[in-house]
């Protein structure tokens, strides 16, 4: 009974709850955030006030083991980071001391590197000022408005220098930076609108199922058996230069085209300067010639004009006048046997048609991260740009291969010229100015190969972006004085050349690689978050739509495209101002991969079966030639197992600039800027060390 005469059940209730909780339920361990924490075991409403027993020691030990386990995990994570850093430093050491590093740089490349290095030194100096100001509490830009301290606030010469720098930054540095960033944002928006319109045009084509069709039976396949009068005369050209890895499969694929042999001639145009490779190609041509294929081998003594000079020399042969069309395949391209039957019939009844272009398909698109990212870009180029321009404008840039030309259109447009490294785009522009039309076939695909190393890809992109600017300088007067419609002139000048070949690399490099990191040190010149994040991500989604399987790589794609802007900007400047590297042509290194190993194995077995017949049917001179080919095959040295990649100084300098800007963004608590600059800096670092294709498989 209680003092007031009521029954007190508290002791009984506590006792019962204590006994029941000991039979069922799990104890709850509460850990306090305060360093002076205590471990309390709560088993019942009043259990906190119960006397301690021996079970408390066990729970405290379990808690200690839990802390030790978490500490072990943290140490393991730090060890993993350390191992990763050591691996990266080891790769850097190998490239610095064991690899082949370029020692000779052009004056233009040195100038660009010095500019980037200057920005890096300035950024480090700015960061030094900002760090000291941050730790001393000199926060004058909470609202991005300059606060001039009073005389009593000056505490020393460093503080005075810092305030003078703030005044100078607000009055003289920020305004031109803000104007340049606004200009780049306008260009960025214009280019974004162009991408959106291209995607809408592609959607309309898919929705309406628009594609070029063949009317009737232009080849007259129902004629009497043995009559090939419906098949026009077609010349097939395979230009190559030191293509040891891919010459065999390309010649094999072209030799198996389904076309009457008396209406087809194959020219293997070899510009190789290695005599052993010449003999190998001659042997492959001889093999198919013995099988009844109308194929010839041509080699120039002087390799002038690169690919354009090679094609021009081949078109000067007297027998070319007997042919109506010419199909061109680079050395790594493998057309299907029905390629000509799907492309040549489009010319019948269409006298204004000059070119039928097929789409590229890649045998090694899943080889490594670099090939996956290239596949995204090229899928958008073919699926969207080429298809939309072909349907709505009847004009696009010839891709240099996997296309069929009307020889009359080539001749009337001036033929192949050696004035640029983009002879394919050159002949396409001149044919368009003469009133010829083009057709793009998205459903006709030709197998080819993507560069698997960053070095090869970088050289290819340099040629692809310097050549158009060089061509723009040469073609601008002809475009202005041509007789085509005004809107076609505007499309060529503003869209085809300026927007997609000049503006894109300019704003991408200037805005995301220079202005963005500098805004971390000059907060008065701001970049809106939608410029940094929202619109680039949206455009990346649009670019990746034609290759939906590449969606997991959307973030690396966005970062890598910004990283490649250094190479593209460099190439654009060299082509626009006719600098030394604008006429540089380096054959893209290939690995000789094929997506149909079973067919190649069957072809190899067939070749072995035919070898006896070849030796019996040849003369003494033929036998000696085959023996010489065999000797060359045995004497050709095998390529090294692994080649040391290069270090790219400009990319490394920009990597440290972006990482420095990321550190500065932490002081201003700009989270989105920090993550973007950090990841972009790591992307530049990987590319600068040339790790993207080698170690990110």
Residue given tokens 């140490």 in the structure block: 75
CB 563 within 8 A of CB 652: no
- Count the Cβ atoms, other than its own, within 10 Å of residue 539: 18
CA distance 443 to 359: 7
Helix (H) or strand (E) holding 89: helix 55-93
**Of 355, 360, 440, which is closest to residue 402 (Cα–Cα)?**
360
Rounded alpha-carbon distances, angstroms, from residue 107 to 420, 577, 580: 21, 13, 9
CB 446 within 8 A of CB 335: yes
Q: Which residues pair with 406 in a beta bridge?
A: 325
Q: Which CB contacts under 8 angstroms, 24+ apart, belong to 538-543?
A: 539/192, 539/195, 542/195, 542/196, 542/199, 542/380, 543/195, 543/376, 543/377, 543/380
Structure tokens at 246: 């891919």
Helix/strand/coil (H, E, C) string of 497-536? Answer: HHHHHHHHHHHHHHHHHHHHHHHCCCCCCCCCHHHHHHHH
Given the residues 43, 330, 424, 690, select the one marked as catalytic: 424
**What are the φ/ψ torsions at residue 88 (nearest 5 degrees)?**
-65, -45
CA distance 692 to 650: 16
Annotated active-site residue 43? The verdict is no
437-448 and 325-328: which strand pairing? Answer: unpaired
Collapsing DSSP states into helix, strand and coil, what is residue 240? strand
Q: At what angle do helices 597-617 and 275-290 cross, to 10 degrees?
A: 80
CA distance 281 to 615: 18
Q: Which residues pair with 28 in a beta bridge?
A: 42
CA distance 524 to 342: 60
Helix (H) or strand (E) holding 653: helix 649-667
**Of 626, 600, 628, which is closest to residue 612 (Cα–Cα)?**
626
CA distance 332 to 57: 74
Rg (CA), the chain: 34
CA distance 434 to 484: 8
CA distance 81 to 85: 6
User: Rounded to 5 degrees, what angle do the CA atoms 201, 202, 204 make?
Assistant: 65
Given the residues 43, 271, 330, 690, select the one marked as catalytic: 271
Helix (H) or strand (E) holding 269: strand 264-270
Q: Which residues pair with 30 in a beta bridge?
A: 40
Structure tokens at 151: 């005389």
Annotated active-site residue 223? The verdict is no
Alpha-helix residue ranges (DSSP H) falling in 526-619 = 529, 535-544, 554-576, 597-617
CA distance 344 to 325: 8
Active site residues: 271, 424
């Amino acid at each position: 009974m209680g003092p007031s005469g009521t029954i007190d059940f508290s002791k009984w209730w506590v006792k019962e709850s204590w006994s029941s909780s000991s039979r069922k339920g799990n104890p709850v361990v509460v850990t306090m955030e305060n360093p002076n924490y205590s471990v309390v075991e709560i088993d019942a409403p009043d259990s906190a006030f119960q006397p301690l027993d021996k079970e408390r020691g066990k729970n405290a030990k379990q808690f200690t083991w839990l802390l030790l386990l978490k500490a072990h995990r943290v140490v393991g994570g730090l060890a993993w980071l350390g191992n990763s850093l050591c691996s990266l430093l080891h790769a850097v050491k190998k490239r610095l001391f064991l690899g082949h590093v370029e020692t000779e740089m052009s004056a233009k490349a040195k100038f660009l590197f010095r500019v980037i290095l200057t920005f890096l030194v300035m950024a480090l100096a700015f960061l030094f000022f900002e760090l000291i100001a941050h730790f001393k509490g000199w926060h004058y830009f909470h609202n991005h408005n300059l606060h001039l301290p009073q005389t009593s606030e000056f505490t020393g010469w460093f503080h005075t220098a810092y305030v003078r720098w703030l005044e100078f930054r607000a009055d003289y540095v920020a305004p031109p930076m803000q104007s340049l960033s606004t200009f780049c944002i306008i260009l960025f928006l214009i280019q974004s609108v162009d991408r959106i319109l291209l995607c809408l045009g592609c959607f309309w084509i898919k929705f309406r199922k628009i594609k070029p069709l063949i009317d009737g039976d232009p080849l007259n396949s129902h004629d009497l058996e043995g009559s090939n009068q419906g098949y026009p005369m077609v010349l097939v050209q395979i230009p190559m230069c030191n293509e040891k890895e891919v010459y065999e499969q390309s010649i094999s694929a072209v030799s198996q085209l389904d076309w009457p042999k008396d209406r087809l001639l194959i020219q293997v145009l070899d510009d190789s300067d290695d005599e052993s490779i010449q003999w190998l190609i001659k042997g492959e041509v001889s093999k198919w010639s013995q099988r009844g294929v109308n194929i010839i081998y041509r080699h120039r003594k002087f390799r002038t004009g690169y690919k354009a000079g090679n094609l021009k020399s081949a078109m000067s042969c007297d027998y070319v006048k007997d042919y109506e069309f010419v199909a061109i395949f680079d050395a790594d391209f493998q057309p299907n046997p029905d390629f000509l039957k799907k492309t040549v019939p489009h010319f019948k009844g269409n006298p204004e048609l000059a070119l039928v272009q097929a789409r590229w398909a890649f045998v090694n698109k899943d080889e490594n991260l670099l090939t996956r990212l290239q596949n995204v870009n090229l899928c958008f180029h073919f699926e969207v740009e080429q298809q939309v321009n072909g349907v709505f404008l009847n004009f696009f840039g010839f891709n240099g291969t996997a296309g069929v030309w009307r020889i009359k259109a080539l001749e009337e447009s001036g033929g192949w010229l050696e004035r640029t490294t983009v002879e394919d785009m050159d002949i396409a522009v001149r044919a368009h100015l003469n009133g010829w039309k083009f057709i793009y076939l998205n459903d006709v695909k030709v197998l080819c190969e993507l560069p698997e190393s960053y070095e090869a890809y970088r050289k290819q992109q340099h040629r692809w972006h310097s050549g158009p600017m060089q061509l723009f300088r040469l073609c601008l007067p002809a475009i202005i004085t041509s007789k085509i419609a005004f809107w076609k002139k505007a499309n060529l000048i503003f869209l085809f050349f300026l927007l997609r070949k000049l503006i894109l690399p300019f704003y991408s490099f200037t805005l995301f690689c220079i202005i963005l990191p500098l805004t971390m040190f000059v907060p008065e010149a701001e970049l809106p978050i939608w410029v940094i994040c929202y619109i680039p991500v949206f455009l990346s989604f649009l670019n990746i739509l034609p290759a939906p399987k590449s969606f997991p790589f959307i973030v690396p794609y966005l970062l890598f495209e910004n990283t490649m802007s250094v190479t593209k900007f460099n190439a654009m400047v060299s082509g626009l101002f006719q600098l030394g590297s604008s006429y540089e042509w380096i054959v893209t290194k290939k690995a000789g991969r094929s997506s149909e190993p079973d067919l190649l194995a069957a072809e190899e077995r067939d070749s072995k079966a035919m070898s006896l017949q070849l030796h019996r049917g040849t003369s003494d001179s033929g036998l000696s030639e085959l023996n010489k080919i065999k000797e060359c095959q045995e004497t050709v040295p095998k390529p090294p197992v692994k080649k040391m990649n290069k270090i790219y100084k400009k990319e490394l300098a920009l990597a440290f600039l972006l990482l420095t800007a990321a550190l500065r963004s932490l002081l201003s608590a700009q989270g989105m800027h920090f993550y973007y600059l950090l990841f972009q800096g790591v992307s530049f670092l990987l590319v600068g060390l040339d790790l993207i294709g080698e170690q990110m498989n």
